[in-house]
Amino acid sequence: YRPAESEFDRIFTVSLFFPDLLPPGVCNLLNPAAIYANNEISLGDVEIYGFDYDYTLAQYSNLLHSMIFNTARDILIEQYKYPEGLGKYDYIPGFAIRGLHYDVKKSLLMKIDAFHYVQLGTAYRGLRPVPDEEVIELYGGTQHIPLYQMSDFYGKGPSLKQFMDIFSLPEMTLLSSVIDYFLAHGIEFDQIHLYKDISDAIKDVHVKGMMYQWIEKDMEKYILHGDETYAVLNRLVNHNKKLFLITNSPFSFVDKGMKHMVGKNWRDLFDMVIVQADKPNFFTDRRKPFRKLDDKGSLQWDKISQLEKGKIYKEGNLFDFLRLTGWRGSKVLYFGDHLYSDLADLMLRHGWRTGAIVPELETEIRIINTEQYMHSLTWQQALTGLLERMQMHQDAESKQVLLEWMQERQEIRSLTKNLFNPQFGSIFRTFHNPTYFSRRLVRFSDIYMASISCLLNYDVNFTFYPRRTPLQHEAPLWMDQLCTGCMKTPFLEEMVHIR
């Protein structure tokens, strides 16, 4: 049973002796424009569509990340008096991925799986990986992070912070760059103060409106696929769906962006527009009343007893929103990119249906569709099956073969991880388990997709059926689904006419 030299020889050999360890065929390629269901949902039952703005209706260019990084870095140097040598650091596209955890007291940025285990090889202090042995020692001889240390409902634990939104990519890179500089120059620092300073500098970029100004000055450069946003909204309205917008961004910024993407009469498409909503507090805090804005964005003083179509409202809370609109339960479908701030409360506390926007999905699916990924995963699963089946052979030669298989399996797992991101791998998986991000994605969203334009591929009455995924005791019945670790997802070619 010693592995043969070439990949195809190895797969052929296994297919001869252990045909049940290999899948009978190759899965259909996944479609990056598909919508994936965690829970059964019929769009025909949805009467009201709600949207977040940033990274939901408005998709942004990655060029924005460099601007955020550079500006926050300069704030640290000029206002917080951090070393000027930090000015030599630039944003590193592709260094970090969404969903990572940061242990503030240990200065560790790492990926954690759904079972609270650190994926070895994905723990970084600064810009350098931390050896697996050191990670295990730091956590008391284990890879496991106890529940009490983990993030709370909104991704904020006592010592662990989870970076869940797309805007956090430059923050993670800046955090790693500053630590890298301090370690390289032997500068002692307080981990808590450093984390807070960087977090505050990043926050300044948003709160002081700098990011809004950059986008407003060059919307062609920073806003992507605006025509698709218009197509989605217009199509829903033409099918008599009600639309509303709840965003934390200010009105002037949203107004300019929507005029750029949809046109000057964009507000005619929406039954309700709520800005500076202060999510997630909007969904849980009953105290803030709605305030009306005039057409220029100036605050009005009258008490709000109804929410009028075409008007702009600021702040408020979901409880008043539900009382004034009567929009409750599964007839409402809300889309957002932040699993905690946008979706969690709506699904768990209020029974709305939810759609997660995950732009990374498009790139990850394209990687999954490559021949290299399919071959690597096929052989990885074959090796895993061989190890499980042959482990009872304990003679010297068999032990040596098993050791070689284990080493090869680990090498393939690392290579597969690197296809997605050399530092942290896929945002959806550790080597074999779902990531902590994936766990929250499944828990807080009925459906998920790369962008809202994916809705254009489906009829407005389409029903999404989640694939029945195997429990471990059902796995032998599901061998046709092992080749890429994914459920067979139909192509959408036959639905193109719906656009």
The residues that are catalytic are 52, 54
* Cα–Cα distance, 144 to 116 (Å, whole number): 6
Asked whether 314 and 290 are in contact (CB, 8 A), the reply is yes
* Cα–Cα distance, 114 to 126 (Å, whole number): 24
Q: Which residues are annotated as a binding site?
A: 52, 54, 337
Half-sphere exposure of 229 (CA within 13 A, CB side): 24
Plot region of 468 (φ>0 → left; ψ -120 to 50 → alpha; else → beta): beta
Q: Which residues are annotated as a binding site for GMP?
A: 54
Q: Would you call the peptide bond into 3 cis, given omega within 30 degrees of 0 as the criterion? A: no
Asked whether 270 and 243 are in contact (CB, 8 A), the reply is yes
Both tokens of residue 346? 């709506």
* Cα–Cα distance, 195 to 256 (Å, whole number): 34
Asked whether 366 and 344 are in contact (CB, 8 A), the reply is no
For helices 7-17 and 371-390, what crossing angle results, to 10°? 40
* Cα–Cα distance, 426 to 236 (Å, whole number): 33
Location of structure tokens 């929250």: 440
* Cα–Cα distance, 356 to 338 (Å, whole number): 8
* Cα–Cα distance, 434 to 299 (Å, whole number): 46
* Cα–Cα distance, 309 to 269 (Å, whole number): 9
Kindly report the number of other CB atoms within 10 A of residue 58's CB atom.
25
Q: Which residues are annotated as a binding site for Mg(2+)?
A: 52, 337
* Cα–Cα distance, 315 to 342 (Å, whole number): 15
